[in-house]
Amino acid sequence: MPSSVSKVIIRISLQGKGEADAEVFRHLSPVTLGELLRNLPLQSRVSRYLDQFIYVTSNVVAGVEKARSSFKRGDVAFLAANGGVCFFLKDSIVARPMNPLGRMLSGIDLLERAEAGDVIRLESI
C-alpha cells in the first residue's frame, strides 16, 4: 500500500496490543492534514468519548475545515477544539463538527479494545 501525494498511510500502534493502518486524504482537509503530517510521529494516551470514538490529543493547531457532524464506523477525523485525532468505532452524529481526514484500512477491532490511558503512536509509513 504505497502512499502518494494525495493519500498517506498512517500506522497506529497501540503499545503492547498491536497495530492498525488508516489512509488519510489531502483533499478532505488539506491544511489540517498538512499540519498533522508535520507533527508526526505523535505519541500520547488514548481517550474515549462514550462508545462512539477514541481519540488522541496532539499539538496540532488547525481551524475548522470542511467540517461535518456525521461519521461512519472506521472514519478518521480531527477535532479542532482540542487538536484530537479521532477514530470512530461506530456510526455517529457528533455535536461539534470535525474535519474529515480518512478511513481505517485495518485494525478497527484493535481500536475497539483500546482503553483510556493506553499509549498510542501515530506515524506515516
Q: Residue 111 falls within a domain, yes or no?
A: yes
Q: Residue 14 falls within a domain, yes or no?
A: yes
Q: Which sign does the torsion angle of CA 30, 83, 23, 91 carry?
A: negative
Q: Check if the beta carbon of residue 94 is closer than 8 Å to that of residue 71.
A: yes
Digit-by-digit pLDDT tens for the chain (125 residues) are 555 678 999 999 999 999 999 999 999 999 999 999 999 999 999 999 999 999 999 999 999 999 999 999 999 999 999 999 999 999 999 999 999 999 999 999 999 999 999 999 999 98
Q: Residue 19 falls within a domain, yes or no?
A: yes
25 φ, ψ (degrees, to nearest 5): -120, 130
Copy the grid coordinates of residue 118: 493506553
**The pTM is what?**
0.94
Domain count, the chain: 1
- The amino acid occupying position 19 is E
Q: Could you tell me the CATH number of the domain that includes residue 118? A: 2.40.100.20
Q: Residue 2 falls within a domain, yes or no?
A: no
Q: In which residue are the cell numbers 498538512 written?
A: 34
Q: Residue 89 falls within a domain, yes or no?
A: yes
Q: Which domain holds residue 113?
A: 7-124
